[in-house]
Amino acid sequence: QAFLWVTCTLSLAVFSDHLVLEDLVEEMRRQSPALSFGPLRRDGQIAARGSFPALRGLREFLLLKAKSLSEEPRREGKPHQRPRRKMQEHRGAAETRNSAREAQREKQVLVLDADIYRYMRCFLPGAFQGNGVVISAVTDGDIATVCIESAGSKAGALQGLRAKKTIEGYSVELQKVLRKERICLKEPSRAERQRHKQLCERLRPRFPKVLLIPRDTHMDLVGPPADVFGLAEEVKR
């Protein structure tokens, strides 16, 4: 399995006070024809599938859409609608707080394939260690969102940007060379998972570049194609 696409779940509920979500989905389809979308759920969530560049483009589109709508009042007749003056006061206070926070730190955000992120964490830990930056990540299904925080000064911003480019560069290169093999468990019990894990651990010294990711019903092996294939064949035998 090659790392060519990913699936993520988007929450559009934040737009429900301003837009008809069905219309927004249609606009998203026109904006990102390379992506495929699932049905829009009642809670405002929708699944999107495609390449990382296409998903990043959709993310930028939604961020710009949210920013433009934040300057407009809510639709008339919406339940619990705030008076315009109250909204302006609230927005002004929020902008003041945000400006104060931004003066203290800069943020860079990256969206990576979750398995690529795990592989980098295991074999390239130095990519997540930089002077003057704090790097954290949250994984959600196939997606890992990496946040890089640095001081709000010019030097801090350069350090954050440098760390972002380093991680992004490694991610692009690893996507070209890594493969994933899935070993399904015949009996997905705790004992069976433990037995397969121990077997893989015994064999892994022969395949040191492979990352083992245990799951409830299967095991994923991530690494160079030859090593992944070799370890998978040994386990199956």
Q: What is the CATH number of the domain that holds 133?
A: 3.30.70
Same domain, residue pair 214 and 165: no
Same domain, residue pair 122 and 168: yes
Side-chain-side CA neighbours of 62 within 13 Å: the count stands at: 19
Determine, yes or no, domain membership for 75: no
- 151 within 8 A of 197, measured Cβ to Cβ: no
What is the structure's pLDDT at 198?
Answer: 85
List of residues 6+ apart from 20 with CB closer than 8 A: none
Same domain, residue pair 170 and 185: no
Determine, yes or no, domain membership for 112: yes
What is the structure's pLDDT at 216?
Answer: 79
What integer is the mean pLDDT of 204-218? Answer: 87
What is the structure's pLDDT at 145?
Answer: 85
Determine, yes or no, domain membership for 192: yes
pLDDT for residue 88 is more than 80: no
Determine, yes or no, domain membership for 133: yes
What integer is the mean pLDDT of 156-185? Answer: 87
Same domain, residue pair 225 and 170: no
Strand (E) positions, the chain?
6-11, 36-37, 45-50, 105-113, 133-140, 143-151, 179-184, 211-214, 218-223
Q: Which of the four pLDDT bands, split at 50, 70 and 90, describes residue 99? A: very low
Same domain, residue pair 190 and 221: yes
What is the structure's pLDDT at 210?
Answer: 92
Extract the tokens encoding 198.
């121990």
**Could you give the CA distance from residue 29 to residue 71 in angstroms, rounded to a whole number?**
24
Question: Domain containing 27: what range?
Answer: 6-52
Give pLDDT tens digits for 32-51.
Answer: 888 888 888 888 888 888 87
Smallest CA-to-CA distance from 123 within 171, 53, 164, 162 is with 171
- Pick from 72-76, 79-83, 215-219 the range whose average pLDDT is largest: 215-219
Determine, yes or no, domain membership for 59: no
Tally of structural domains, the chain: 3
Last residue of a domain, one of 160, 177, 194: 177
Give pLDDT tens digits for 113-129.
Answer: 889 999 999 999 999 98
Extract the tokens encoding 92.
């002004």
Determine, yes or no, domain membership for 78: no
What integer is the mean pLDDT of 21-39? Answer: 88
pLDDT for residue 10 is more than 80: yes
Determine, yes or no, domain membership for 48: yes
Same domain, residue pair 113 and 168: yes
pLDDT for residue 83 is more than 50: no
Same domain, residue pair 168 and 211: no
What is the structure's pLDDT at 72?
Answer: 59
